[in-house]
Structure 1
């Protein structure tokens, strides 16, 4: 059953940036959009299992640090080759100054 887990404080992630969050043996990436919203995806690229936290955020895109493939972190949609498998996304919520992610 999914559960809400505190991942970080809202000021831990600058706008248009991301951080890594590990929980229960899984790695997640948490993003702070230009509009001030928070998003979460699987933390590893679907192409070669590289940690996305080392990648570059541009607007609503995360670029993988290994082969420059891109995903829309809001939807997980693969946007530029070589990635062709979408990222899994996870619900987020903000309570006070804390960001929570819904994990399996």
Structure 2
């Protein structure tokens, strides 16, 4: 259960089929906007070598790490093959009054 919602940005700050980095406290997140304007959030660092995913390439529902081309389904966090084998943590997001909110847990 999410106990805290953080205001990240206006929904229009993220283009369709794109990713944006968001830092809060000691954590880095990656926020995505799909082609049909749904929003998703994952941990911001690749599970393979801790590279920022926001520097990667978004293709449909996949984020590709810029260093070794590891790929994840950003909707579920699922690692999609070598070199990544550990899934990304995902986080809830919601839209209120044109703002994107990120759910961060305990």
Please give the range of the TM-score, normalised by the shorter of the 2 chains. Answer: over 0.9
Distance 1:90 1:81 in 2: 23
User: CA offsets per residue over residues 36-67 of structure 1, 9 Å max, x none?
Assistant: 10000000000000000000000000000000
Distance 2:50 2:58 in 1: 18
Task: Please tell me whether residue 5 in structure 1 is matched to residue 44 in structure 2.
Answer: no
Using the size of structure 1 for normalisation, the TM-score is 0.97
Q: 1:70: which partner in 2? A: 71
Q: Which runs of 4+ in 1 moved over 6 A?
A: none
User: CA offsets per residue over residues 13-42 of structure 1, 9 Å max, x none?
Assistant: 000001000001100000001111000000
Task: Please tell me whether residue 101 in structure 1 is matched to residue 105 in structure 2.
Answer: no
Q: Secondary structure at the match of 1:22?
A: strand
Using the size of structure 2 for normalisation, the TM-score is 0.95
Computed over aligned residues only, the root mean square deviation of the Cα atoms, in angstroms, reads 0.9
Q: 1:82: which partner in 2? A: 83
Q: Which runs of 5+ in 2 are unaligned?
A: none
Q: 1:36: which partner in 2? A: 37
Question: May I ask how many residue pairs the two structures share in their alignment?
Answer: 104
Task: Please tell me whether residue 22 in structure 1 is matched to residue 23 in structure 2.
Answer: yes
